[in-house]
Amino acid sequence: MPAKKSLVIVESPAKASTINKYLGSDYVVKASLSHVKDLPKSKLGVDIKHNFEPVYDVIPGKEKIIKELRAAAKSADRILLAADPDREGEAICQHLKEIFDGNKAEVFRVLFNEITPKAIRAAIEHPGRINENLVDAQQARRILDRLVGYQISPLLWDKVRRGISAGRVQTVALRMIVEREREILAFQPQEYWSIIAKLEGHEPPQFEARLVKTKGKSAEVKQQKQAEHIVGVVKNSEFVVDSVVTKEKKRNPVPPFTTSKLQQDASRRLRFSVKKTMMLAQRLYEGIELGDEGRIGLITYMRTDSTRVSDDAMQMVRSYISDIYGGPYLPEKPVFYKSKKDAQDAHEAIRPTFVGRRPDDLKPFLSEDELKLYRLIWTRFVASQMNPAVYDQTTVEISAKDYLFRASGRVMKFDGFLAVYEESTDEDAKPLEPDDEQDLRLPPLKQGEKLKLIDITPRQHFTEPPPRYTEALLVKALEEQGIGRPSTYATILTTIQDREYVTKDQGKFRPTELGTVVTEMLVKHFEDIFDVQYTARMEEELDEVEDGKMTWVQALDEFYKKFEKDLKRASKNMENLKKKEIPTDEVCEKCGSPMVIKWGQFGRFMACSGYPECKNTKEIPSDEAPKEGEASAETAEAELCENCGKPMALKRGRFGQFLACTGYPECKTTRKLTAGTKTPKKPDTILDEVCPQCGQAKLALKVGRFGEFISCSNYPKCKYIKPKTVGVACPKPGCGGELIERRSKRGKVFYGCSKYPACDFVVWNRPVPEPCPQCGAPFLLEKSTKREGLVHYCNEESCDYKVAVEAEKVS
């Protein structure tokens, strides 16, 4: 009888593949593909009257996986549950344990913070048990979210529109965006002036000083007349150095990444969405194939709010800094950082698993985006254990009669950690004030020295409204307010966009009309539940459940008492937007009745009050300014129908806005708008060429999502699309086809044989109908790179011909 093996269960196949290579033949590694059980989709799944008892069902589609895991468990002497080391992972382990009830094998929980041979073996050698408190905390969060989502969403369907939803945390995030938009709209800019003197001492360079005080008080210049008066006085004044103070200042490194700080920095530096950052980090954590080394996990677990670093990692990075950068860059003792008060300290900060794997060493194995994120994590970790940067900061105060000017500059003496990494700042950070440190070098100046005035300039400014939230700013605000947890931010941001509650304008969140209306209604009727402080307090209670200081039933009971009252009140009092009509001064052009504003499935619109006798409707023009190169709503409405000559009007359907003929229902002409704009798509241009497929209709030049193309004008009856040829014959012997431009499912252009699938020849770069001058191949390929520009090169592996296109033209 063969010896029994240990069964190890992880969440993902990628992780299973990596771990499988580290463990010997005595182990079988399987993946559960995340959760196997959850609350049912078709009903609430929570027995509120009996201590919120949840009903878990097997997730549809997971039956086959469970069957395979049970079969593997029968031949195992022990089962090691190795899901991610967090609340969700602990809940997955609990549900896996339940599906093995009746199995004789003993069930253990194993935890590891990184997927490396050493960490995996250490975890396997010291297995533990499932942490019931963590399971309870996850269950409490899941039930809270279910109670809110499944009991408020039907109200919104009934009163606003079907298919929309409310979420306990997502609605608070949306509220923050809506309230910021209100602040921006209500903002009244205030005028103020700065006065800058350009001065020269006895040695260069010239420098600028800013007015900071008038008669010993802080200078506040609010009007042009006041600014001009000051300029007139000081123009003829003597500028004398009052004081010169030079101090040594240090700039300390920042801690290694927590999840939220990684999300913020990747958003600001790399323009990655939070969702993309977490997806890439997951890949780096679960393992990348590194040639002869095999599959290796490159970073530690990426869901953490701790800045703690293990002793081994500390020794590793200190040795690296000493060897590569030298003694001056290495602090005498390791640098320890304080985690925030409510941090879960079970995991380390996000760091490379082995600091000796420098980003440049991994270029052959990582995608461009994976490498960018790894470089960010690697540099931040190394910099966190380096000495501070050191500056000499000089502040000079200069008097001119009753006015005091100040110049401030600094000169770096030692770059320290800045040799590796510099923390990014919010894009909307305020401009530097006169006392802010700037990397400027001032000339040598002495107290009592008289300066020459080169120029004096009054500059007008206006106060600015608070900035709209970018992903980085919103994550930062959520973290500071204690809303959600870093592991949930990606889901929150994705949900509010998928529900069409917000849009992104140049990377900044703006609430949609739907998002604003939903927020107003929910905050009005559920003020406590969607309050920022209350939501933050609920997060603290979930932490208390995790710490064993409160039971999950107590946390839910406290919440539901308040929620149930609000729910009953809202069911009676919430306004029904579907039935609401707002009178307007506009008259229906079809029957002369007054037009009213109504709320429909796609937002507000104008409708004739004579409905149902008159069914005339109109789109309400958006308040937003049209984007560059985009027609306004008024311009769009001025378009004439090509079939009957009547004006076209903006309408909204299930797929967004479009133009429709006002002669409807007699004329049913519609026209799509260019994606993301209100500009009508160019109408089809009928060509003189007959379709070769149907032989009846003519071909037409159309505009699609990837640009212009030629197809049969009788679409969709005939789906012929004319291929774009490049004038190059297929190189496969005896094929007889030609190379044409094609597109992958994701829209990427490639070039393949016109006789596909009989011939499968493809190339990614554009073929050029010129023979290779070096080996005689029938065509060259063309590509463009940042370093080389546009080049032509040979497709034959044995030929290294390559030439810049510009060089060819010159010769």
Q: Catalytic residue numbers?
A: 301
DSSP per position, 538-570: HHHHHHHHHTTSS-HHHHHHHHHHHHHHHHHHH
Nearest CA-CA partner of 471 in 166, 172, 145, 177:
177
How far apart are the C-alpha atoms of 310 and 321, rounded to whole Å?
17
For 715, the 3-state DSSP assignment is coil
Among 388, 398, 393, 404, smallest CA distance to 438 is for 393
Separation CA 489–CA 133 (nearest Å) = 23
- Is 578:159 a contact under the CB 8 Å cutoff? yes
Q: Identify the helix (H) or strand (E) that includes residue 780.
A: strand 780-785
- Nearest 5°: the CA angle 779, 781, 785 is 160
Describe the chain by its helix, strand, coil percentages, rounded to 5. Answer: 30, 25, 40
Helix (H) / strand (E) element for 138: namely: helix 132-159
* Burial label, 313 (beta-carbon count in 10 A; 0-12, 13-18, 19+): buried
Evaluate whether 316 touches 354 at the Cβ level (below 8 Å).
yes
- 8 Å CB contact between 193 and 210: no
Which residues, in sequence order, are CB contacts of 264 under 8 Å at separation 6+?
472, 475, 476
Whether the bond between 205 and the residue before it is cis, its omega within 30 degrees of 0, is: yes
DSSP designation for 202: S
The string of DSSP codes covering 581-639 is -EEEEEE-TTT-PEEEEEEETTEEEEEETTTTT---EEEPPPSSPPPTT---HHHHHTP
> Phi/psi of residue 650, each to 5°?
-70, 130
Amino acid at 491: T
Provide the 3-class DSSP secondary structure of residue 73: helix
Q: What are residue 80's DSSP bridge partners?
A: 8, 108
For 403-445, where are the E strands, in sequence order? 403-414
Name the E strands within 294-388: 295-296
Q: Please give the Cα distance from 768 to 781 (Å, whole number).
A: 6
Measure Cα distances from 284 to 249, 350, 369, 423, 451 in Å. Answer: 37, 11, 11, 22, 58
Residue 190: how many other CB atoms lie within 10 Å:
10
Spatial separation of the C-alpha atoms in residues 276 and 266, rounded to whole Å? 9
Distances 37 to 17, 65, 100, 302 between C-alpha atoms, Å: 23, 12, 13, 24
Q: Are 174 and 496 in contact (CB under 8 A)?
A: yes
